[in-house]
């Protein structure tokens, strides 16, 4: 609430100037003194661990854009809503943002099911939606429409990278454990599709589908142990992984299985929180690592973010939200308007510089070429928790 209030005061101060610019340039949504961004991240309940840091990245981007004078002479104003991990709540919030707040664009989402729900609202209402975190492949395939774009990675990219690691660790008998909702199902499909290509000798011997939000994984742990597989492929993210690992470790589970997982279990926040309880033999991914700055752009971004977050060891999520805002800004600039159809056209094929390198939005699939860091999580002398070593950047497959 506080943020909305502050920005609306700022908005009023710039109102007159922005209004005249808007009228002069004939910007669509004429009379709009500002560009209103509807942003949806989970900021309560179990998803708040990710939504909070994502909002930091979002705010950082908006602050930087406004400090540089805004876009087409208009300031960015944020209207934030809690998407929870609940598609129905997120859809209602997205509708409200469009009809009551009159936002020009929707950004965010976290859970894949939530991303699909927001996308559906965007389609009906003809408003641009940039999915910054949801990874279900359906968002940019079967459920694709002109107004949805994704800057996150997707389940096909992730499954492909995991199949490459199966090959690398010479996995033969695989257990596939995924959460029973859009993301888990689609990641399972993504792995199954990529295995024949990268690791034709590997076979999935059992598929397990615990529920989203499950806390007790013992029944699944014993099934994996009973199935005789040498490698586990998984997409249990966040707390699901923490709970699974804590319950599996006393069985000696991680001594007998290589655990290859999507869901950004290599992120600093999971590794630092689990610290000494982070298990052996885990290969995972992350979008960003604060301790790994291969480029100058990343170093600078990291410094600005560290200042905002008041810690050097920043989370992985802010960069995703940040890139989403920056992509939208570039599209509005290119389109010379906030009109959804014009911005949609502008987004197709658009390339921007991000802290992680060049980001290009594919004109056909509406999917950005976002890669991830992948690698084994190792104990390294001098580090209080596990770090990825070696760090390999895996670009999206051709």
Q: Kindly list the residues in this chain that would bind other proteins in the complex (CB under 8 A).
A: 43-49, 51-52, 180, 185, 188, 205-211, 213, 215-216, 218-220, 222-223, 225-227, 238-239, 242-243, 246-247, 249-252, 269, 273-277
Q: Please, what is the minimum distance in Å from the beta carbon of residue 49 to other proteins?
A: 5
**Which is closer to other proteins, CB of 56 or CB of 154?**
56
CA distance 369 to 395: 7
Nearer to other proteins, 18 or 248 (CB): 248
Rounded to a whole number, what is the distance in angstroms from the first to the last CA of the chain? 44
| CB of residue 320 to other proteins, shortest distance in Å | 17
Residue with smaller CB distance to other proteins, 134 or 210: 210
Sign of CA dihedral 170, 137, 131, 326: positive
Q: Report in angstroms how near the CB of residue 53 gets to other proteins at its nearest.
A: 9
Q: Which residue number, 242 or 289, has a Cβ lying nearer to other proteins?
A: 242
CB of residue 316 vs other proteins: minimum separation in angstroms?
14
Measured from the CB atom, is 281 or 365 closer to other proteins? 281
Q: For the residues of 210-256, what is the DSSP string, one character each?
A: PPTT----HHHHHHHHHHT-SEEEE---HHHHHHHHHHHGGGTHHHH
Cis amide bond preceding 390, omega within 30? yes
**How far is the C-alpha of 265 from the C-alpha of 283, rounded, in Å?**
8
Nearest distance from C-beta of residue 229 to other proteins, angstroms:
10
Closest contact distance (angstroms) between CB of 153 and other proteins is 22
Give 320 or 343: the residue with its C-beta nearer to other proteins.
320
> Phi-psi region for residue 139, left (φ > 0), alpha (ψ -120 to 50) or beta?
alpha
- Contacts of 24 by beta carbon, 8 Å cutoff, 6+ apart: none
Structure tokens given for 315: 């989370």
Name beta bridge partners: 377: 388
Give the position of tokens 């291969």.
Answer: 294
* Minimum distance, C-beta of residue 19 to other proteins, in the bound complex (Å): 38
Residue (185 or 366) nearer to other proteins, CB: 185
Token couple for 371: 């890669």
CB of 325 to other proteins, least distance (A): 21
Closer to other proteins by CB, 144 or 177: give it.
177
Of the pair 277, 353, the CB lying nearest other proteins is at 277
d(CA 126, CA 148): 10
Neighbours of 50 (CB within 10 A): 26
- Tell me the C-alpha distance between 362 and 377, whole Å: 32
Which lies closer to other proteins via its Cβ, residue 221 or residue 394?
221
Closest approach of other proteins to the CB of residue 300, in Å: 26
Question: Distance (Å, rounded) from C-alpha 332 to C-alpha 346?
Answer: 8
Q: Which of 113, 106, 103 is nearest to 29 (CA)?
A: 103
Q: Residue 76: enclosing H or E segment and its boundaries?
A: strand 75-82
Give the shortest CB-386-to-other proteins separation in angstroms: 13
Helices (H), 249-352: 253-256, 268-274, 296-309, 318-335, 340-347
Q: Which two tokens stand for residue 366?
A: 């509406």
């Amino acid at each position: 609430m506080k943020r909305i209030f502050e920005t609306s005061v700022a908005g009023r101060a710039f109102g007159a100037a922005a209004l005249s610019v808007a009228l002069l340039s004939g910007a669509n949504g004429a009379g709009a003194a500002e560009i209103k961004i509807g942003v949806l991240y989970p900021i309560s309940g179990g998803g708040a661990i990710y939504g909070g840091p994502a909002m930091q990245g979002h705010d950082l981007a908006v602050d930087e854009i406004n400090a540089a004078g805004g876009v087409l002479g208009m300031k960015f104003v944020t209207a934030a809503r809690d998407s929870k991990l609940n598609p129905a709540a997120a859809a209602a919030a997205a509708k409200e943002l469009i009809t009551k707040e009159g936002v020009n664009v929707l950004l965010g989402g976290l859970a894949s099911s939530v991303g699909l729900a927001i996308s559906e609202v965007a389609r009906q209402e003809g408003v641009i939606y940039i999915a910054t975190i949801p990874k279900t492949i359906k968002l940019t395939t079967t459920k694709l429409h002109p107004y949805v774009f994704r800057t996150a990675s997707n389940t096909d990219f992730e499954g492909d990278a995991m199949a490459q690691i199966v090959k690398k660790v010479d996995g033969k008998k695989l257990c596939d454990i995924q959460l029973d909702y859009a993301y888990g199902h689609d990641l399972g499909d993504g792995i199954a599709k990529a295995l024949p290509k990268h690791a034709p000798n590997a076979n999935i011997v059992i598929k397990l589908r615990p529920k989203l939000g499950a806390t007790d994984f013992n029944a699944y742990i014993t099934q994996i142990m009973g199935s005789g597989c040498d490698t586990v492929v998984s997409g249990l993210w966040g707390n699901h992984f923490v709970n699974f690992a804590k319950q599996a470790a006393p069985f000696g589970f991680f001594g007998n299985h290589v655990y290859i997982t999507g869901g950004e279990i290599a992120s600093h926040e999971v590794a630092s929180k689990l610290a000494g309880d982070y298990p052996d033999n885990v290969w995972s991914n992350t979008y960003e690592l604060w301790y790994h700055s291969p480029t100058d752009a990343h170093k600078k971004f990291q410094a600005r973010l560290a200042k905002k977050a008041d810690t050097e060891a920043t989370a992985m999520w802010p960069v995703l939200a940040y890139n989403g805002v920056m992509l939208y800004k570039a599209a509005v600039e290119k389109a010379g308007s906030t009109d959804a159809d014009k911005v949609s056209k502008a987004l197709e094929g658009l390339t921007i510089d991000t802290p992680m390198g060049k980001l290009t939005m594919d004109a056909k699939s509406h999917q950005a070429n976002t890669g991830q860091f992948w690698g084994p999580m190792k104990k390294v002398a001098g580090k209080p928790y596990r770090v990825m070593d070696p760090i390999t950047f895996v670009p999206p497959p051709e």
